[in-house]
Chains A and B, each alone.
Chain A
Amino acid sequence: MSAALFVLPLVAGDSPSEYVSHHLKHLTQPIGQGGFWTLHVDSLLVSIAIGILGIGIFWRTGRKATSGVPGKFQAFIELAVEFIDGQVRDVFHGDRRFVAPLALTIFVWIFLMNALKLLPVDLGPAVAKGAFGLEYFRLVPTTDLNVTLAMSTMVLLMMFAFAIKAKGGFGFVAELFTAPFHAHSPLLKAVLAPANFGLNVIEYLSKPVSLAMRLFGNMYAGELVFLLIALLFMAGGQFLFGDGATFGTQVGGALAFLGGVLAGAGWSIFHILVISLQAFIFMILTVVYLSMATEAH
């Protein structure tokens, strides 16, 4: 935010609404016919890069990990690993060899993607334009619904896989029609089957949708507020240094600038909590859902 003023000339739109909508546009690349076959290059690039970075750090530490006295960095990585392993152990009662690294991946990746939000909102677009001549660039991948929905869809598929592995293919399908409403007579079972199936479909669909929407919504809304705070800076700057600035407008500008500083600092500090919390929620809910999928109704 504080850097917003300095990079404004590079990326600022003509009006506040144009500024905001400019910041909300993706760098796109069509790869086929129709609107669907378009890639958000910025989301993919940033998310993959940061995923490789984050998981790579863990990988490198793990490769050189010693069971003797750990270095400070290894100790830190192990702290994270043990924290996540402990969380998974509390929720998921079974073989954690797959679920724990999954939780680690989710937490680290989402946390780092979210953490990009703490960079000034104009920095990404400014660097993209200044260095590479790109018109649009959205830095935070988790403000892209494609990203969050792809991850939660993966979670949904893993729920299916875990359920089938735990109950068998037939058991899984049977449970779709016989739970949550149980009946004993065949007639009642037939009557309840559609209701059960409908409820299960809703239940299964609501999980990934809520996962994706929660993360996306938090990040997107936060991003919008950061943009509004940046607009406050912009207004302050225009009042202070713009044409025809009088003493009155300069006082107003200074106040707007001060407000921007306070609001930006406050919102950033609040987002330290939000980015960690959202990453944690996504991780823990994934583990909870997988745990539920393995347990019979």
Chain B
Amino acid sequence: MTLNATFIGQFIAFAILIWFSYKFVWPPLVNAIEERQKKIADGLAAAERARKELADADARVADEIRKARVEASTIADRAQKQAIEIIEKAKQDAIVEAARQRAAAEAEIENLSFKAREMLRQQVAELAVKGAEKILAREIDAARHRDLLDALAKEI
């Protein structure tokens, strides 16, 4: 159990080992560990970022879909309204046209019936005159009583 030069030898060996550890062993191991820690942290951050981006994209897509749906429904509404308007307008046009046609027809009828009546009156007057002529052939001088006969025909 005596102390001897072994002490010195061990002391030197220890010093060399410490120096070696400090210089060559520890730094690369710790560097590797720290680098990996950084990589993992970066990876986690990237994953988190991607997750957030995905959520954003999802929200955007949902928003777009909602907007498109609203737009589609407004377009459909407008189309329907337009269709109703067109039909309504057509109906109105038809009614106006029908009224116009009827008015024209009525005017024509009026006109024709007037003409017929005029003709009828004329003929009745002539008939009356002819009848009167036949009855009064001997007593009435057609030329003398011309104005009288015309007034009569007008009256009929």
User: Which residue numbers of A lie inside 8 Å of B, CB to CB?
Assistant: 31-32, 35-40, 43-44, 47-48, 51, 55, 58-59, 61-63, 65-68, 70, 74, 77-78, 81-82, 85, 97-98, 100-102, 104-105, 109, 141, 144-147, 149-151, 153-154
The CA of A97 and the CA of B107, in the complex, are separated in Å by 119
Those 10 A-B pairs whose CB atoms lie nearest each other, nearest first: A67-B35, A101-B26, A150-B10, A65-B32, A146-B6, A62-B28, A101-B21, A40-B6, A150-B11, A62-B29
Determine chain A's interface SS by DSSP, over half rule: helix
Distance from A167 Cβ to chain B, minimum over Cβ atoms (Å): 22
Distance from A30 Cβ to chain B, minimum over Cβ atoms (Å): 9
Chain B residues lying within 8 Å of A81, measured Cβ to Cβ, are: 26, 29-30, 33
A44 near B6 with CB under 8 A, answer yes
B114 within 8 A of A: no
Chain A residues lying within 8 Å of B8, measured Cβ to Cβ, are: 150
A65 near B4 with CB under 8 A, answer no
Interface centre among B2, B9, B13 (most CB of A within 10 A): B9
Instruction: Give a binary string over B13-27; 1 marks a CB under 8 Å from any A CB, 0 the rest.
Output: 111011011101111
B115 within 8 A of A: no
B5 within 8 A of A: yes
Distance from A272 Cβ to chain B, minimum over Cβ atoms (Å): 24
A47 near B10 with CB under 8 A, answer yes
Picked from B10, B24, B31, B35, the residue with its CB within 8 Å of the CB of A147 is B10
B1 within 8 A of A: yes
**Contacts A36-B3, A40-B6, A67-B39 supplied; 18 other A-B pairs, CB < 8 Å:** A39-B5, A47-B13, A55-B25, A62-B27, A62-B28, A65-B29, A67-B33, A97-B22, A102-B22, A105-B17, A109-B14, A146-B3, A146-B4, A149-B7, A150-B7, A150-B10, A151-B11, A153-B7
- Known A47-B13, A105-B17: A62·B24 in contact at CB below 8 Å: yes
Distance from B18 Cβ to chain A, minimum over Cβ atoms (Å): 5
Interface residues on B, range: 20 to 34
User: Which residue numbers of B lie inside 8 Å of A, CB to CB?
Assistant: 1-11, 13-15, 17-18, 20-22, 24-33, 35-36, 39
Distance from A261 Cβ to chain B, minimum over Cβ atoms (Å): 31
A51 near B5 with CB under 8 A, answer no
Distance from A17 Cβ to chain B, minimum over Cβ atoms (Å): 17
- Known A78-B29, A81-B33, A101-B25: A36·B17 in contact at CB below 8 Å: no
Distance from B33 Cβ to chain A, minimum over Cβ atoms (Å): 6
Chain B residues lying within 8 Å of A105, measured Cβ to Cβ, are: 14, 17-18, 21
Distance from B68 Cβ to chain A, minimum over Cβ atoms (Å): 46
Distance from A161 Cβ to chain B, minimum over Cβ atoms (Å): 12
Chain B residues lying within 8 Å of A58, measured Cβ to Cβ, are: 21, 25, 29
- Known A62-B25, A82-B33: A36·B14 in contact at CB below 8 Å: no
Distance from B21 Cβ to chain A, minimum over Cβ atoms (Å): 4
- Known A61-B29, A78-B29, A81-B30: A40·B4 in contact at CB below 8 Å: yes
A39 near B9 with CB under 8 A, answer yes
Who on chain B is nearest to A40 by CB? B6
A144 near B35 with CB under 8 A, answer no
Distance from B73 Cβ to chain A, minimum over Cβ atoms (Å): 54
The CA of A90 and the CA of B15, in the complex, are separated in Å by 25
